[in-house]
Structure 1
Amino acid sequence: MEAAAGAHFSGLLPSSPSSPSSADVDSSMQHFVIGVSGGTASGKTTVCDRIIQQLHDHRVVLVSQDSFYRGLTAEESERAHDYNFDHPDAFDTEQLLECMGKLKAGQSVNVPIYDFKSHKRCSDSFRKVNASDVIILEGILVFHDQRVRDLMDMKIFVDADADVRLTRRIRRDTVERGRDIDSVLEQIRGMHTLIRDRDVTISDFVFYSDRLIRLVVEHGLGHLPFTEKQIVTPTGSVYMGVDFCKKLCGVSVVRRMLSCSNNPYRKSSGESMENALRACCKGIKIGKILIHRDGDNGKQLIYHKLPNDIAERHVLLLDPVLATGNSVYQAIELLIQRGVPENRIIFLNLISAPEGIHRVCKRFPSIKIVTSEIDVALNEDFRVIPGLGEFGDRYFGTDDLLSQRFMAAV
């Protein structure tokens, strides 16, 4: 029940206008394939169970993509904590295609059984699956391969809050799959490893930064106040849910600072976090605060554009890196001057230095700071160590090294 409450359908796409819905499938419509995908621990299995319940007398079989994990080699098993089980190469897609093709053709198949503790297949045992009226194929990447998608008559994507999914995954992987919490959280650290690598491509840097930013934004939204709300569902049932605050806005901090490189102005911009916020909050208003810096001590607020009613709103302040805290300090001062209560400001960033956190929290004790990782310290040049460089330049492709590499590739 928990999974069903936290998940919702974000897409219900028949492969063609003539494809029937699950309610229309009858015994004359043989071998109808429904694909169910979504993030890990989003509630796919629960959704599949509900579909099976609704189909009543129809013969239904459920096939999980997890059954088609490739067995790890001895070398891979030794470093299983570093293995990416969420990558398409982790699955034997050819065998999956073979099994699904036979099922859709009305033939029974032997589906492999995978041991998540040993990361290997059970070589001497299989699960026999007979052909049925409806075949449900579920998995995190069942929509990745065009050949697999082409087998589907209906596709459903299950979406759920990232924090809810992380909680479920930790519980599932530790209780059901014999893994420890550290190995689960290391997957988030893996994304940090990619974006911190100076040799990463621009596309990979943007992709994995966006994933981390989305996690930070969704976690920040969880700190907003809400009230209980009772609604009536289309079935006439009463559902007790929650209603989040409507008065909300984002404010991105744009910092520009002099540099001795060929690019005289370097930029670290909260604008890189705006897309994730818009994806989570439809139609949200977003303001700007531009701060010019000449070195770390010199700072000047040179532009701001904020909603006229910002004093009545909760504010999500966006800046990917918290270093000394000077810029965000000034941004918070401006918000307070505009009438925003301190306890209504949530500061969202990707990485933070302890010095910056200390300074902001000491001056503004009611501010909430949400970050994905706290780094070691600031160096003598006031840069976050180990850090990830000038985030805005790397994200928007204005970093000299990345730009040169991109142009060479083109």
Structure 2
Amino acid sequence: MREHIERHVTIVDPPSDTSIGSISLRNDINDSGSATPSLPLHRCMRTISGSKSEDHLITTESGRRIYTKGRPPWYDREGKILKQPYVVGICGGSASGKTTVARRIIERLEMPWVTVLSMDSFYKVLTEEQHHLAAKNEYNFDHPQAFDFDLMCETVRRLRDGKNVEVPVYDFTTHRRDKQPKLMYGADVLIFEGILAFHNEELVDLMDMKVFVDTDPDTRLARRLERDIQDRGRDLEGVLTQYLRFVKPAFDTFIAPGMKIADIIVPRGGENEVAIDLIVKQVKTQLAERGYDASKNPYSQRAGMVQKDLPLQLPRTLTVVPQTPQVRGLHTFIRDRRTPRDEFNFYSDRLMRILIENAMNFMPFADATVTTPTMEKFVGKRNTAQICGVTIMRAGETMEHALRAVVKDCKMGKILIQTNEKTMEPELFYLRLPKNIHRYKVLLMDATVATGAAAMMAIRVLLDHDVLEENILLLSLLMAGTGVHSLAYAFPKVNLLTTAVDPHINELYYVIPGMGNFGDRYYGTEAVAACNDSSNDEDDT
């Protein structure tokens, strides 16, 4: 069992001349990314659920960049989930500073990947009658019945399991959910904040640490007045009426009892530096006990995939396009370092088309009978599967045109995976996938596969979106033997299709003999020095 820190710890730090409380009250007001009403340019108004901490990028006062969406590998070299995130629950009254505390924790943790989930996103969809009550400030948004706790628990549970979730976006102006939910992904630390974060027992059981933010009622009222009047278009009388009728009684009845189960009680919210430091130290200690150490063996994940002794026989899940004279000829042009960019792109596109055409042989077909123009019957085949393509940006995007030329009206998705220059590990920055992708046969595309680290992360993402292993086909113009064996070992049901397999990769993780950096050559972003031939070079023979 995990160790809990002492409960009911109330920490008061000494007065300081440096007042963090002077920060704009919008640090305590949630923010999100959906359309808002037309407003003057000088005012940035928030009318929908979420929080500033849920922005994809946070820049701390020291200039450190922290991403709250995406993460480095969350699985081992066999593709299995490595660890569960550490879940911090933050509860407190309306406008008590929960979001500010969450932001301060993120800044002090100095971890590049944190996910923040706001309870405001889980308001129930209102009925017509409830809409009329809300318009007259007569609907109680602070009552537990106003929240969808079932969806809330399922969302937190999936994030703990490393899976993706679609988080609703609630518009406080129209009191409706936005049509476009936010896609969120798990991280090493998950912060869940909301006024009733400790009300549901099932939800509380999912938390590793429980923090209650205790702020003076007058301060909370002042913040709520500013937020609701300036950012939600309400009038003073309506806000005060709602506060006295619903907000204050709800705090006394449903929110304040949360202090009894809190591990730490933080007075004055984001101003309390001592309390935040204690929380951060405890989180780091718990992460260390779970095996998290960002500085320990940073090259283990990718370097571990570079196997010295590879099996002589290629895995059965690998298919190499027939090595016809045409395919070999196209490879000759593409691999030649002297091939001009326009010719390189032309021959690459031709080879991609051949690769995609071969990929169609992996799709399910059923007998189909048609009538020819001569009124005779012909028995043929029709594809019976829904197909979508997912590209690993940026080199994988070069294969989109070939796929669209073969599969009419093909749905497309994108996954941005970049290599960290310090650790040389792949890191997930962005993904956009078709809805209900688990119903599709997925063609996952990358121009080249060296160690297989980026492809492994992309496959893990698809699996976390409930795509079956056997429904994934990885396409690449060129694969290294190292990457082939690593992927086949980690995901034995994923089929691999390529036009060539090269035997080795070098210390910089380039395929040898390979074709260089495919993305740079295709898009013309090679360094000038690398493009110019040395005057001492001899002509190729």
Length-normalised TM-score, structure 2: 0.38
Q: Which structure: larger Rg?
A: 2
